[in-house]
Amino acid sequence: MVVRNLDTSRTKNLTLMNQSLSTSSGEHNYFSADRKWHHVIDPIKLQPASRPTVSVVGPKASTCDLLSTAFLSMPEVMARKVLRDEYEGYFIVNME
Domains identified in the chain and CATH numbers: 2-86 (3.10.520.10)
Between 7 and 52, whose confidence is greater?
A: 52
Nearest to 5 by CA among 67, 95, 94, 96: 94
Q: Which tens digit of pLDDT belongs to each residue from 53-74?
A: 778 888 889 988 888 888 887 7
Query: How much is the pTM?
Result: 0.64
Q: What is the torsional sign of CA 59, 82, 45, 54?
A: negative
pLDDT score for 68? 83
Contact between 22 and 55 (Cβ < 8 Å): yes
87 has a pLDDT exceeding 70:
no
Share the mean pLDDT of the chain.
70
Contact between 61 and 75 (Cβ < 8 Å): no
Report the amino acid identity of residue 54: V
